[in-house]
Amino acid sequence: METDSKTATNYSTKILDGIIFKNMLSCGAEQLEKQKKAIDALNVFPVPDGDTGTNMNLTYRAAYQSAEKVATGSVHDVAAAASMGSLMGARGNSGVILSQILRGIAKGLEGMDQANALQLAQALQTGVDTAYKAVMRPIEGTILTVSRETAKGAYNKAKSGESDILQVLKAGLERGEATLAKTPDMLPVLKQAGVVDAGGKGFLTIISGWIAALEGKVPEAKSTLSDEVPSTVTTGIVEVGTLDFPYCTEFLVKGNDLEPEKIKQGLIDKGDSLLVVGTSEVVKIHIHTKNPGLILDYAVKLGTLHEVQIHNMLAQNEAAAHQAKEEDLSTTTVDQQEEQLKEQLEEELDFKEYGIVAVAMGEGIAEIFSSLGVEQVVFGGQTMNPSTSDLAEAVLKVKAKNVFILPNNGNIIMAASQVNEVVDKQQVYVIPTKSIPQAISALLAFNSDNLPEENVEAMTEALKQVVSGEVTYAVRDSQFGNLEIAEGDILGLIEDKITTTGRDVFEVAKKVLENMNWREKDIVTIFYGKDMAEEEVNRLSEWLESEKPDIEVEIYAGRQPLYYYILGVE
Amino acid sequence: MGKLMETKLGKVEITEEVIATIAGAAAIECYGLVGMASRKISDGVSGLLKRENLSKGVSVTFQEDIIVIDLNIIVGYGIKISEVASNVMDRVRYTVETMTGLKVSEVNVNVQGVRFLE
């Protein structure tokens, strides 16, 4: 199939032409796509908003899609197209820098149909020089530093007489990796957070993709790229016919008050490669799914559907058409949303006494909250903290004089406490909940007959009665206290502190519960994540009941991402 | 007049100049921004004197509870201007808010020039 022609190619790595460069760009895109979540998690600088990986991925994807369309075999033509694509598609700080590096590389390859190792190394160097020109005060310890050292490593190797492009890039990567490891020493904010620079990591991820291409890795069919592909699935050849989500479904929804983030949450378990972008009036949805009908059913409830396109990615000609168009949605912004918020405020005469806003990850948890009287759920959590304005927006939607916010994460409490300054006609109270079990306890302590202050006191008091635990996995190697943690290890946390590590979810969950002294308590509450099998959950509850028959075990499908279990003991 | 914050022990006042300096320092570290454009005569003088003036091209206005920061910037040619502008806004807002504890209502970016870098 598509891959056949490419596996047959037996190219020399002494000469880089447009075809090989396209392959490299493509493998780079694959690697970046797979790593973007991990890169997001590293993002603490310049603004800790956890989007570096996503932004770089969008930028680089724009570059490579533009390069894919080049019909000639000239390396410069491909580089120039990539440069133009990344310029148009640049997103975020690292994305802009990446676009400048690609622009410089294209400049360095000017007029060349083919490039040798030294010429490529020089082009990389030009890329870095170009990138450095566009900033008044370069900050060291960022993607700039990492790319500069990578280029230097490659250039030194090429100058020493190495003519194999693969070896030259490998030398660059090696130097780049060493520099990346040193970024925490250059930029204190990285050291505090215990991470390396996210943009630098993204850059090296791309370079390692280029290297993989030169080592003969065949780019997978683009359509199978997804967030969730585990890194072990890098054998290269996709068995067409076994795609889990064969229908690429893409369309616009037009309406009022659309909430891209919420729509995203609603669709997240219905397929992969999900992309939801837009404004309150028009949202573009892109998803690979088993059943496009379900997606359209869901969306038609939100507004009107436009430009509906469904491709079966198993059919190759359709796959090609699919790939030709993944361009960004040009967003139109009108202040209608603001208008509506104002109208809502004018209706404040009908305001009731109390309303509750809570932050949750996972639809299941959101549903539980709703059933306990939470009116507005803001989606967010450890890796995606909602901002003050997200929370304020939710507060404004609750037509109540007194609004309680349950942030449910230590990192969100600050943002929540600022909401009161932003909304003027409502009184906002923040209950400092740091976990989902705490939120449940607080909600149960709420009594609408009491005064606001009494409720705050009762709810805050209730937090102390519950111990919270979590079971998740490590997204990168790290060290915590005396614990050596490897990527992929299962982590057990109590009140956000890592207390146990292991390789098995069940074992770690047991240890966490033991550390929470569950045997001395009455109720164990289990919220299981979206990837947990029911048998696995039952195994845990059966174990609990066999160990202590009079324990009360409550099990909820939290359907939260990342966390296998969220546990409460009281 | 500066911006007042009441604390239990007394008042803290932060002047426009301080916020302008913080905003300017944060802005010039933003990628894609290659200079600040000044519209004030005094900036021109200090420029001649080679004094470092981080608040160049920055103006800060307080209106009751509102802080508005205006930045006049110059960007490099060949960079997506909208993205640089939004990065500058994010960065400036974040830095000013974390350093001063004040809430920034608006960051306006006026792109006053494009500079060819080669």
Token pair listed for A512: 């966490």
Domains of chain A, by residue range, sit at 2-222, 247-315, 338-463, 467-569
**Residue, of A356 and A450, whose pLDDT is higher:** A356
CATH of A467-569, picked from 3.10.530, 3.30.1180, 3.90.930, 2.60.120, is 3.30.1180
Exposure b/e, B21-31, CB count within 10 A at least 16 = b: bbbbbbbbbbb
Instruction: Report CB contact under 8 Å: A134, B80.
Output: no
CB contact, 8 Å: B32 with chain A? Answer: yes
CATH top-level class for A338-463?
A: alpha beta
CB contact, 8 Å: A423 with chain B? Answer: no
Q: Do domains A2-222 and A247-315 have the same CATH topology?
A: no
Selecting from B28, B80, B118 the residue whose C-beta is nearest the C-beta of A90 gives B80
Minimal CA separation from B41 to chain A, in Å: 22
Torsion angle defined by CA atoms of residues A418, A424, A427 and A428, in that order, rounded to the nearest 10 degrees: -20
> At A347, is the pLDDT very low, low, confident or very high (cuts 50, 70, 90)?
low
Architecture label for domain A247-315:
2-Layer Sandwich (3.30)
**Side-chain-facing half-sphere of A421: CA atoms under 13 Å:** 13
Selecting from A47, A99, A139 the residue whose C-beta is nearest the C-beta of B94 gives A47
The pTM for the full model equals 0.48
Instruction: Report CB contact under 8 Å: A90, B87.
Output: no
Helices within A139-277 (DSSP H only)? 143-159, 165-186, 188-193, 198-214, 260-267
**Average pLDDT value for residue range A162-179:** 94
**Residue, of B40 and A62, whose pLDDT is higher:** A62
CA pair distance A284, A251, nearest whole angstrom = 6
**Average pLDDT value for residue range A557-567:** 88
Reply yes or no on domain A2-222 having CATH 3.55.40.20. no
CB contact, 8 Å: A200 with chain B? Answer: no
Q: Which of B3, B31, B102, B103 to mutate to test binding with chain A, by most A CBs within 10 Å of its CB?
A: B31
CA pair distance A549, B73, nearest whole angstrom = 69
Nearest to residue A173, comparing CAs of A124, A106, A107, A222?
A124
Instruction: Report CB contact under 8 Å: A136, B33.
Output: yes
Minimal CA separation from B109 to chain A, in Å: 16
pLDDT at A75 over 90: yes
Instruction: Report CB contact under 8 Å: A139, B29.
Output: yes
> At A357, is the pLDDT very low, low, confident or very high (cuts 50, 70, 90)?
very high
Task: Give me the pLDDT at residue A346, please.
Answer: 53
Residues of A numbered 9-48 whose beta carbons fall under 8 angstroms of chain B's beta carbons: which are they?
46-47
The model's pLDDT over A77-127, given as tens digits with 9 standing for 90+, comes to 999 999 988 888 888 888 889 999 999 999 999 999 999 999 999 999 999
**Average pLDDT value for residue range A364-392:** 81
Exposed, middle or buried, B2 (CB in 10 Å: 0-12/13-18/19+)? Answer: middle
Nearest to residue A196, comparing CAs of A136, A141, A126, A133?
A141
Give A103's contacts in chain B (Cβ within 8 Å).
78
Task: Give me the pLDDT at residue A343, please.
Answer: 55
pLDDT at A150 over 70: yes
Nearest to residue A134, comparing CAs of B91, B110, B79, B59?
B79
CA pair distance A126, A100, nearest whole angstrom = 10
CA pair distance A244, A288, nearest whole angstrom = 9
Domains of chain B (ranges, CATH numbers): 3-115 (3.30.70.1350)
Mean pLDDT of chain A: 81
**Residue, of B11 and A117, whose pLDDT is higher:** A117
